[in-house]
Amino acid sequence: MIKKLSNITLNHTRIEIDGRDSMIRVAGELLHAALSFDERYILLFITDNCQFEETLFIYLLDTQQNKIVDEADIYRMYSPGYFENLNIISDNTVSFEFMVEGVWTLTLYKTPKTAILHLSTVLPFQSVKRPFALSRYFNIKRSKG
């Protein structure tokens, strides 16, 4: 189940939980949303706060291991972006709007799935960038329409 959290803050690049430094460092300056998933994971939406070329950083933190287990960046060069309309769709799915791309859907997995390398994750003209990983904890896609 996904729930909104209010006890997460971003202090420069440090994630703080209940006012205590988690020792986890992230990119970005402005924390837009923090969500709890399965009472173990924290999903973060952070931007650079740069109105002319915005990047949305999405991080999934594992609170038991105290580390980032999955991440994705959404951006396009010279494109402004606004993070808005975050909605919890189901127990493991959220939607939001970012850039002029429209609505994005993020689905969290209860157990990690084997990662399949798609060219869309490494080609320079794609909006979503993800680091190489053997498994994924979430899938993100843009809705068609």
**Which pLDDT tens digit goes with each residue over 39-84?**
999 999 999 988 788 999 999 999 999 999 999 999 888 788 889 9
Q: What letter does residue 48 receive in the DSSP assignment?
A: -
Please name every residue paired with 44 in a beta bridge, in sequence order, or none if there are none.
Answer: 34, 59
Q: In the prediction, which pLDDT does 9 show?
A: 96
Ramachandran category for residue 64: left, alpha or beta (phi over 0 → left; psi -120 to 50 → alpha): alpha
What ranges do the domains of the chain cover?
2-142
pTM reported for the whole predicted model: 0.91
CB proximity list for 81: less than 8 A, separation 6 or greater: 47, 54, 55, 56, 74, 75, 98, 99
